[in-house]
Amino acid sequence: MDAAEDGLKCPVCQDFFTEPVTLECGHDFCLTCIQEVWETDPPSKGPFFCPECQIFFTSEPTLEVNPVLRSKVKGVAAAAEEQTVWCDHCLEKPSVAVRTCLTCDASVCQAHALQHRQKSALREHTLVDVTSDPFSLKCREHRDQLKLFCVEEMVPVCCLCVLVGVHKHHKASQLHEASADLKKMLETNMSQLLKRRGEAEHAIKALESLYTQTVKFAADFRERISDKYSRIRFVLDADERLMMQIIEAEETYMTDWLESQRSIMETQIQEIDSLRTRSKLLLQQTNDLKFLQQITAQKLCHPVDFSPIQTVDVDLCEPEKLRTVERLVDDLSVALSQHFPRMWSYLSSPALDSKTAHPNLEISKDNRQVFWRRQPVSGEPGPRPYDSQYSVLALESFTSGQHYWEVIVQDKPYWMVGVTTTSADGNASLTPGSSCLGVDNTSWCIYHGEGQYLACHDTQEKRLSVTKRVRKLGIMANIQKGELSFYDADAITLLHSFCIQTTEPLYPMFNPCIDINGLNKQPLSLFWTKDSWNWQGGDGGK
């Protein structure tokens, strides 16, 4: 405030500006102060100059009040007036108080403070720094000065509070001792806070580095996997081109051979027709001599020795090589079918049904996350971390087909994820606060608590051997086979399989478990993709 006030005071009178004006050089003065410096009342010819920078002006400057500066001055002056404490003994002419007497419950100016030091009757009075509220420095119950500090309740107290008051038998210390101890504690806390702040900053940098690394990893893997698929497509395309070329070559070979055989047959027909024509002409000759001369000249005087007409062997046109090509493609299809469709091909993206959520659970706006809502109250007999009733159902249910979904659990110390069926009346067995996930014969789940994994169904628990912490849990429901399997969704390794026999719809079910001291406040998040794959070609059995 002092620096701000100094900037709003006139360099001439050293007081707050009164009708401030700004000269051409940029310095500010009170209107009356600069007029007195220039002696312009009565009017004068100058000289006109700035008392601050000593710049001379060629003519008398126009003095106009600066409204912005005047408004600032009024605001600061009003605030300073409110903060000023006046002497309670100066009645005729108010004086600013410099000290406050706790004995008199009054503030005194410099003169009256001097009297407190000089007069023997007032020397025992307690003078402190001036304050507008002296009662804040005294005990409200005994009206005595706060000279001690109650260590047990951590409040300033008077001597009577410790002797006969509510702080009787409490440990108390002098104010300067308590202040020194607490300052030392604050210094230690500040040192620890500074250290923790450094650790937090280091953690943030590590997270930023991991974020950048994750983005880079994702880009690298995306490029590498895309390249691998490109190679697979290249191999498949090349194999397809090879098979098409073989079929084309085989077709060309067979058609060329058939054309050559056709040409041979047509040549034979032409020879037969020519021989018949000549024979017919000879038969029409009536002159025996000419007949004999012509038949011997044409060498037709002996029976014709015809070579047999070769019959067409249909088997020669059997597409055996084409069948081999088809068989090779079938073999490739069988080999690929052992790997397709993948488990992820049945990936669905269920949404949470907020209507079925326990009141202590909170569902995100996109219905993809479930949180523990309220903080546990100290001293309240709260539920165990793994109480199974704090659950929420998915909107979708499954009655047939194969379905797979994933739940992101990351490093949550407690969680339960599974499925449940509907009740006999057709309503979902989970109503808010009524579910018992994994402890009845209509639900199956995996429970994680402090690094241990349990497969739970119908009050039966089986501890699972999990060597690597599961970050994402995958659930595969093959309703036709009656199998419910849980996987480490990142590595696609099987954790446990249940045999389920039910005709009721299966509802995915999620329990984030209660939050303990802020350590289990992370949500359960549903993993989802932009597009859903449909390998069945229908509605997926929903």
Nearest to 70 by CA among 24, 30, 32, 15: 30
Which among 270-274, 333-337, 398-402, 483-487 has the top mean pLDDT?
A: 483-487
**Residue 449 and residue 495 in one domain:** yes
Joined tokens for residue 514? 């209660």
Task: Please tell me the predicted confidence (pLDDT) of residue 383.
Answer: 47
Q: Return the number of other C-beta atoms located less than 10 Å from residue 248's C-beta.
A: 10
Can you list the pairs that 108-115 forms with residues at least 24 positions away whose Cβ atoms lie under 8 Å? 112/87
Task: Please tell me the predicted confidence (pLDDT) of residue 195.
Answer: 92
Domain carrying residue 124: 99-137
Among 337, 357, 375, the domain boundary falls at 337
Q: What is the mean pLDDT of residues 443-464?
A: 92
**Residue 220 and residue 246 in one domain:** yes
Task: Please tell me the predicted confidence (pLDDT) of residue 90.
Answer: 86
For every residue of 122-183, DSSP letters joined together read TTTS-EEE--S-GGGGB-TTT--B--EEETTTTEEE-HHHHHTSTTTT--EEEHHHHHHHHH
Residue 171 to residues 6, 145, 508, Cα–Cα distance (Å): 47, 18, 59
Write the single-letter amino acid at 323.
R
268 occurs within a structural domain:
yes
154 occurs within a structural domain:
no
CA-based end-to-end distance of the chain:
71
Q: Is the pLDDT of residue 476 over 60?
A: yes
Among 20, 53, 83, the domain boundary falls at 83
Q: Return the number of other C-beta atoms located less than 10 Å from residue 252's C-beta.
A: 10
Q: Is the pLDDT of residue 419 over 70?
A: yes
194 occurs within a structural domain:
yes
Q: Return the number of other C-beta atoms located less than 10 Å from residue 388's C-beta.
A: 22
Residue 170 to residues 151, 154, 167, 184, 455, Cα–Cα distance (Å): 7, 11, 5, 22, 55
How sure is the predictor about 45, in pLDDT bands with cuts at 50, 70 and 90?
Answer: low
How sure is the predictor about 426, in pLDDT bands with cuts at 50, 70 and 90?
Answer: very low
How sure is the predictor about 226, in pLDDT bands with cuts at 50, 70 and 90?
Answer: very high
Q: Is the pLDDT of residue 43 over 60?
A: no
DSSP state of 224: H
Write the single-letter amino acid at 429.
S
Choose the weakest-confidence range: 75-79, 135-139, 252-256, 478-482: 75-79
Task: Please tell me the predicted confidence (pLDDT) of residue 433.
Answer: 35
- CATH at residue 371: 2.60.120.920
* 328 neighbors 243 (Cβ within 8 angstroms): yes
Task: Please tell me the predicted confidence (pLDDT) of residue 42.
Answer: 54
**Residue 313 and residue 355 in one domain:** no
Q: Is the pLDDT of residue 82 over 70?
A: no
Task: Please tell me the predicted confidence (pLDDT) of residue 5.
Answer: 64
Q: Quote the pTM value.
A: 0.56
Task: Please tell me the predicted confidence (pLDDT) of residue 413.
Answer: 92
**Residue 205 and residue 238 in one domain:** yes
299 occurs within a structural domain:
yes
Percent over 90 (pLDDT), the chain: 33
Task: Please tell me the predicted confidence (pLDDT) of residue 431.
Answer: 43
For every residue of 294-360, DSSP letters joined together read HHHHTT-SS---PPPPPPP-GGGG--HHHHHHHHHHHHHHHHHHTT-S-GGGGB----B-GGGS-TT
How sure is the predictor about 531, in pLDDT bands with cuts at 50, 70 and 90?
Answer: low
Q: Helices then strands (H, E): number in the chain?
A: 8, 23
For every residue of 374-409, DSSP letters joined together read SPPPTT--PPPTT-TTS-EEBS--B-SSEEEEEEE-
Q: Which residues pair with 232 in a beta bridge?
A: none
Nearest to 161 by CA among 151, 125, 104, 124: 151
- Beta strands of 181-294 (E only): which ranges? none
Q: What is the mean pLDDT of residues 214-221?
A: 92
Total tally of structural domains belonging to the chain: 4
Q: Which residues contact 55 (CB under 8 A, 6 or more apart)?
A: 25, 49
391 occurs within a structural domain:
yes
322-370, pLDDT tens digit by residue?
888 889 999 988 888 887 778 888 888 899 999 988 888 999 999 999 9
For every residue of 472-485, DSSP letters joined together read EEEEEEETTTTEEE
- CATH at residue 29: 3.30.40.10
DSSP state of 523: P
Query: Rounded to whole angstroms, how far apart are CA atoms 132 and 100?
Result: 8
**Residue 373 and residue 515 in one domain:** yes
Query: Rounded to whole angstroms, how far apart are CA atoms 118 and 113?
Result: 9
Query: Rounded to whole angstroms, how far apart are CA atoms 315 and 337?
Result: 34
**Residue 393 and residue 469 in one domain:** yes
Task: Please tell me the predicted confidence (pLDDT) of residue 519.
Answer: 86
172-197, pLDDT tens digit by residue?
999 899 999 999 999 999 999 999 99
111-128, pLDDT tens digit by residue?
888 887 778 778 778 787
**Residue 40 and residue 110 in one domain:** no
Task: Please tell me the predicted confidence (pLDDT) of residue 119.
Answer: 82
Q: What is the mean pLDDT of residues 417-436?
A: 55
355-408, pLDDT tens digit by residue?
988 888 999 999 999 998 765 444 444 544 444 578 999 999 999 999 999 999
**Residue 31 and residue 128 in one domain:** no
**Residue 319 and residue 358 in one domain:** no
**Residue 382 and residue 499 in one domain:** yes
Average pLDDT, the chain: 83
**Residue 452 and residue 418 in one domain:** yes
408 occurs within a structural domain:
yes
Better pLDDT: 85 or 191 = 191
Task: Please tell me the predicted confidence (pLDDT) of residue 535.
Answer: 55
Among 337, 370, 405, the domain boundary falls at 337
Q: Is the pLDDT of residue 458 over 90?
A: no
Q: Which H helix or E strand runs over 50?
A: none
**Residue 357 and residue 323 in one domain:** no
* 24 neighbors 61 (Cβ within 8 angstroms): yes
537 occurs within a structural domain:
no
263 occurs within a structural domain:
yes
